Amino acid sequence: MKSQTRVVVIGGGIAGCSTLYHLTQEGWTDVVLVERNELTSGTTWHSAAQVTNFGATQTMVGLKSHSIKLYKELAEDPEYPINYHHADGGIRLANTERQMEGYRHFASVAKGMGVEFEVIDAEECARRHPLISTDNLLGGLWDPLDGDIDPAQLCQALARRARLAGAEVYRNTPVTGLTQHRDDSWTVHTEHGDIDCEIVVNACGYRVNEVGAMMGVHHPVASMEHQYFLTEPIKAIEEAGFRMPLLRCPISDYYCRQEKNGLLVGFYEQDCKTWGMDGIDPNFVNALCPDDLDRVMDVLEGAFARMPALMDVGIHSVVNGPITYTIDGAPLVGPIPGKRNAFCIIGLRAGLGEGGGHGWLLAQQIVHGEACYDTWVIDPRRFTGHANVELTALKAIEDYQNEFRFHFPHEHRPAGRPAKTTPLTPVLAAEGAEFGTVNGWERVAYIKPTPDFEETHSFRFNETFPVVAREIEAVRTGVGLAEVNGFNRFEITGPGAHDWLDTMVCGRIPRKDGKVGLTYLLNHHGNVKAEATLANLDADTIWYGSAAASESHDMDWLQAHLPKDGSVQLRSLTNDWTILVLAGPKSREVLSGVSRGDWSRAAFPWLSVRRAFVGIAPAVIMSVSYSGELAYEIHVPNNQLYAAWLALRAEGEKHGLTLFGGHAVESMRLEKGYRHWKADLITEFNPIESGLDRFVKLDKPDFIGKAALEKQLAGGLKRRFVTLALDCDHAPAHGGDSILANGRCIGTITSAGWGHRVGKNLAMGFLHPEFAEVGTPLQVEVIGEAVAATVVDPGLYDPENQRIRA
């Protein structure tokens, strides 16, 4: 066994084997995989192994497309062919029009990745799958490339190719410990000796937290028992003359695929069970949980109704094994938060089907620092400290019970809530607030007009439309107050702070005391990494503010680039302070009534910051706006947040102050052309492509990504960011929808919604540069319908920023 290598991958299932293989494909061949038993002896061996192209985001579609292409290539390898039933086709069923509209949206998302889905009616579903009934069925989504694969053969084929490229695989080699050294390298301790390496990858399936504990971290991954059975042969299948398509049924919570001349039928029952919460038997290898078909009888009855042939066939065998889930159901693939040279590829509940793509994207991150797609949807850093095992288990149960039911826009499911709150959460609830969640924080979406108000989640405009319109009108004409909790906030101090920050961002940084500036950080490829507001509180203190979801992401990036001489210190205040936003033309009057000092336009202009008091509460106040109105961000310590709130509410009564929420903010920022991190700002595009030209100063001596950006610009722009006005009023576009020119997909929507102040249906997105001129007529797919759209000037509302500067 080697004593030194570049990367050690721990775990020999699909996650580990795929990562090892793809590392060699990226040119790193001095790599090792260690497995405590035999390859595929964990969850992988009993996987139902379905290989779908369906994904709710373009990143997921892209990585699944890679898996399908790779698996087809492996299956056709004459030296080591494997069993892969490619392109049997698959149907996701629906019995409501809302579900069908969701499928039309997802078909548009896939189109942008070169994948063609088909939305079909009930009769066509039955024609393609003759075993199903059309009772209580509207239609479905057809995936022509759906199929299934042999799990063990797949992993062995990946391991074989990795070995041929120079990688090594050590079976029956349990890891006993991990030690990280001062230079951030690692020693992997095993029962057969130590291996020194630069990088460690945790690919340990349901044993993820056993290895996590060895490096002092806990991963938000929980396991669920999952059952399927194999039937005896079915005559209709034997006589069909073709393989039955795969079936996924949100109506009755089951799936099935052909297995020989019978069916494999799997269940997502409501009476489901977590597994391994109190530890896992070390001898649980190639093992299963006890059968428990009584638990799935309600689901089985639905399956019988949809597929009557199941009532007349025997059960050949039952499989009940653990599968892993995360808090939001998507895997954790990427850097481990708070650790250097440590990565994970875990929580792969659909591991076999998409594991090829996950390993591909992870290998790119390890070798190149970024992948070809923005990987935030699977990034481990999208969860922070609230992501404990209890919360993960609750969300895993909820996701399991809703396996084939996608999330609708603005739908925030109830399990595990509230996870993060402020002293104002119950106060706002009493005011009628409807909450959504951002990185676990309970954040106000809108204020319900009546206590019994209920929203119908839909891809169309719904009951919240007039509610949000009223909130915005109140802000536009008077003054509104909102809590924006969880915003990322780092305190940066030290004599070298400004000079260091100047190397981190691509534009100018504010250097005068009391000034605020918006800045962008690039990665080493010259593409957008982060967006940050920098505020000079005084000569010694800078505040770095960014999106609530970016807490671990931005901290890791900044810490990785801190000067080695200790001239800069970094401290997180994210969980200690909360923002109250005061917005509207009367906001200065309210602020002046609760805080001593001169708040006039001359004394405190736009992009200023000052320490002050709001009533008796200490605060940091910034004159910045995400709404396009005169506005102030009032940052208050959480222990005095309620005091500041009471003072603002009391003074606000004199000026007609109202409350507003995140939906109103989203509408207003679209009218101003303001970006949303990880929707409109992603690592696939540079700042010029992203429409951030004014924030880039190439005359600076140097900054991270400068050389790469200059090289990109010399080769021309591959995309441009635009704002579009849509000629429809029944529904907004949604992130991932396709932008069309003459029927051809030429771009993708990143965010969208109704602009209430300008009276237009707005959308933002990236498209081919030749279509980016203002006035260009295009089309955008809105829940399956191509509607007319026009490229318009960004920032349609108050383009001269007169209201912000008032």
- pLDDT at residue 739 greater than cutoff 90: yes
Residue 666 CA: distances (Å) to CA of 89, 293, 481, 692, 757: 39, 47, 15, 19, 12
Measured at the CA of 669, the angle between CA 535 and CA 459, to 5 degrees, comes to 140
For 413-427, how does the pLDDT look when each residue is reduced to its tens digit (9 = 90+)? 999 999 999 999 999
Q: What percent of the chain has pLDDT over 70?
A: 100
Return d(Cα 386, Cα 284) in angstroms, integer. Answer: 30
Q: Which residues of 638-651 are buried (b: 16+ CB within 10 A; e: fewer)?
A: eebbebbbbbbbeb
Helix 351-368 / helix 151-164 crossing angle, nearest 10 deg: 20
Which of 514, 673, 485, 691 is closest to 606 using CA atoms?
Answer: 514
Q: How far does CA 792 lie from the centroid of its chain?
A: 28
Measured at the CA of 401, the angle between CA 395 and CA 406, to 5 degrees, comes to 85
Find the DSSP H helices in 112-177: 122-128, 151-164
Q: How far does CA 141 lie from the centroid of its chain?
A: 23
Return d(Cα 433, Cα 446) in angstroms, integer. Answer: 6
Q: What is the mean pLDDT of residues 342-364?
A: 96
User: First-to-last CA distance in the chain?
Assistant: 71
Give me Rg for the CA atoms of the chain: 27
Residue 400 CA: distances (Å) to CA of 326, 405, 408, 441, 518: 11, 10, 17, 23, 41
Bridge pairing between strands 246-249 and 90-94: parallel
Q: What is the mean pLDDT of residues 207-214?
A: 97
Residue 784 CA: distances (Å) to CA of 136, 458, 698, 725, 742: 22, 14, 42, 17, 16
Q: At a CB cut-off of 8 Å and minimum separation 6, what does 545 contact?
A: 487, 488, 489, 490, 532, 533, 534, 535
For 101-110, how does the pLDDT look when each residue is reduced to its tens digit (9 = 90+)? 999 999 999 9
- pLDDT at residue 677 greater than cutoff 90: yes
Q: What is the mean pLDDT of residues 334-353?
A: 95
For 389-399, how does the pLDDT look when each residue is reduced to its tens digit (9 = 90+)? 999 999 999 99
For 428-449, how does the pLDDT look when each residue is reduced to its tens digit (9 = 90+)? 999 999 999 999 999 999 999 9
Whether 546 contacts 677, CB under 8 Å: yes
**What token pair was written down for 502?**
């100047």
Backbone angles phi, psi at 400, to 5 degrees: -60, -45
For 644-661, how does the pLDDT look when each residue is reduced to its tens digit (9 = 90+)? 999 999 999 999 999 999
Whether 589 contacts 655, CB under 8 Å: yes
Q: How confident is the model at residue 351 (pLDDT cuts 50, 70, 90)?
A: confident
Q: What is the mean pLDDT of residues 454-469?
A: 98
Bridge pairing between strands 617-622 and 609-614: antiparallel
Neighbours of 795 (CB within 10 A): 16
- pLDDT at residue 288 greater than cutoff 90: yes
Beta-carbon-side half-sphere exposure of residue 331 (alpha carbons within 13 Å): 36
User: Is the C-alpha dihedral spanning 755, 757, 758, 764 positive or negative?
Assistant: negative
Residue 475 CA: distances (Å) to CA of 421, 483, 757: 25, 14, 11
Return d(Cα 521, Cα 515) in angstroms, integer. Answer: 19
For 117-173, how does the pLDDT look when each residue is reduced to its tens digit (9 = 90+)? 999 999 999 999 999 999 999 999 999 999 999 999 999 999 999 999 999 999 999
For 32-67, how does the pLDDT look when each residue is reduced to its tens digit (9 = 90+)? 999 999 999 999 999 999 999 999 999 999 999 999
Whether 422 contacts 440, CB under 8 Å: no
- pLDDT at residue 497 greater than cutoff 90: yes
Average pLDDT of the chain is 97
